[in-house]
Structure 1
Amino acid sequence: MCNEAARRIELGLLRQDFHDLRIPLRFPEGAPNMAPLPSIRITDPTVIVRASFDASGEAELVTRRWSWPGAHGRPVYNYRSDDRNIARGRCLIPVDGFYEFTAPTEPGQKRKTKWLFTHAREPWFCIAGVWRDDAAVGQAFAMLTTRPGPDIAPYHDRQVVVLDPTDWSAWLDGSATSADLCRPAPAGTLTPTRVDGTPAPPDG
């Protein structure tokens, strides 16, 4: 499951792209620290976008923790969207990449191979998420997952939900069901690259 992501997006670009989609964006807690984060891990804070709590129709950018404590203290950082009607607590998680790992395949290789998945056409994108209040850690979010699309299937049996920008507004305002939007990414959406810079072979 996805337990690491990257976010190296300039605040100005993020704000402009939301503006171009006619999604007004505000900062109720002040402009967030958008220093580049090449590695965001479970329990780390990063920015999310969610609908505001008033009737303004705006979205708000806030910084929240990735994962809340689940059963037996295990962190809930991925949340299955399958067969669930996720209507409350929706959010968008802006990233420019996420990581997956595959078992060693080369002779003498001891560590798993690490792959960075970026968007094939956009410099950054949004993963669908859900946030909640937790008595122990406060407000926190998890990334939604679904069955893998063709770009992910050779590497993992699940994938995070990568939303098309045309669906961001419907995700935030609830005008589309989670079943409609939480689907595998179409072929050609994501580009895998080994972290050492070696492109993935065509067969994964």
Structure 2
Amino acid sequence: MCNDYRLEVDIASIAEDFEDLKIKIRMPEGAPNVPARADIRMTDMASIVRSVEGERGVGDLVNRRWSWLSPKGKPVYNFRSEGRAFTSHRCLILADGFYEFTDPADPKQKRLDKWLFTMADHPWFCIAGIWRDSPVGEAFTMLTMDAGPDVAPYHHRQIIPLARDQWADWLDATVSAEEVLRWLPPGSLPVTQVYGNPPAQGQLVL
């Protein structure tokens, strides 16, 4: 499951992209001041666009913690989407890549293989998420579903990158989650090996 992602695109470029899609971005806390990062990990602060209840085509760009704490004290950084409506507290998580880790094909290799997934048709994208208040402050998590064709060779579950024409719908809680949360077409998420050995041909890593 995804516990590491990337955002190296500057916030100014991101705001311009939202404007092109006729999504009004507000910055109620000022422009998020975050450095470009190749690795964003659970408990890190990162930029999200929160839905504004009752207003379509509007989102608040803020920095929030990735993961809240479960009742047992473990970080909730991924959240199953199946069977849930998400009628409030939706958000778009800004990214230009996300990572999956697999067991190495070579048993002598001690560290996991690391794979970077990006978006084929744009330099950055949004991941479907939700946010909530918590004892550690407002925090967000990434929604997950069964893996689609691009991710399945590397993991049996995946987070949910959204196509650009889905962003406004995800910020609009009147649009059903079922309509928005779906796989992208095959080939949408090209993958690059960061380190390690690739799986054997046809191997499915679970």
Q: TM-score, normalised by structure 1?
A: 0.92
Structure 1 residues 85 and 53: CA distance shift in structure 2, 3 A: closer
Structure 1 residues 20 and 138: CA distance shift in structure 2, 3 A: same
Per-residue CA distance 1:156-197 (angstroms, 9 max, x = gap): 010101111101111102242111111122211101111149
Task: Name which of structure 1's ranges 43-52 and 124-133 shifts more when overlaid on structure 2.
Answer: 43-52
**Any stretches of 5+ residues in structure 2 without a counterpart?**
none
Question: 1:95: which partner in 2?
Answer: 95
Task: Name which of structure 1's ranges 54-63 and 81-90 shifts more when overlaid on structure 2.
Answer: 54-63
User: Structure 1 segments of 4 or more deviating over 2 A?
Assistant: 51-58, 196-204
Question: 1:163: which partner in 2?
Answer: 162
How far the C-alpha of 1:33 sits from its partner, in A, is: 1.1
Structure 1 residues 197 and 133: CA distance shift in structure 2, 3 A: same
Per-residue CA distance 1:24-69 (angstroms, 9 max, x = gap): 1111001111320111001000000012357585211000000000
| 1:94-133 to 2 correspondences below 5 Å | 94-106=94-106, 108-133=108-133
Identical positions, percent: 49
Q: How far apart are the structure 1 equivalents of 2:95 and 2:101?
A: 18
* Count of residues paired in the alignment: 203
How far the C-alpha of 1:202 sits from its partner, in A, is: 7.4
**Any stretches of 5+ residues in structure 1 without a counterpart?**
none
Task: Name which of structure 1's ranges 103-112 and 163-172 shifts more when overlaid on structure 2.
Answer: 103-112
Q: How far apart are the structure 1 equivalents of 2:173 and 2:119?
A: 25
Question: 1:179: which partner in 2?
Answer: 178
CA contact (8 A) 2:86 2:173 kept: no
Q: TM-score, normalised by structure 2?
A: 0.92
Per-residue CA distance 1:96-126 (angstroms, 9 max, x = gap): 0011011110252121101111111110000
Q: Aligned-pair RMSD on alpha carbons?
A: 2.0
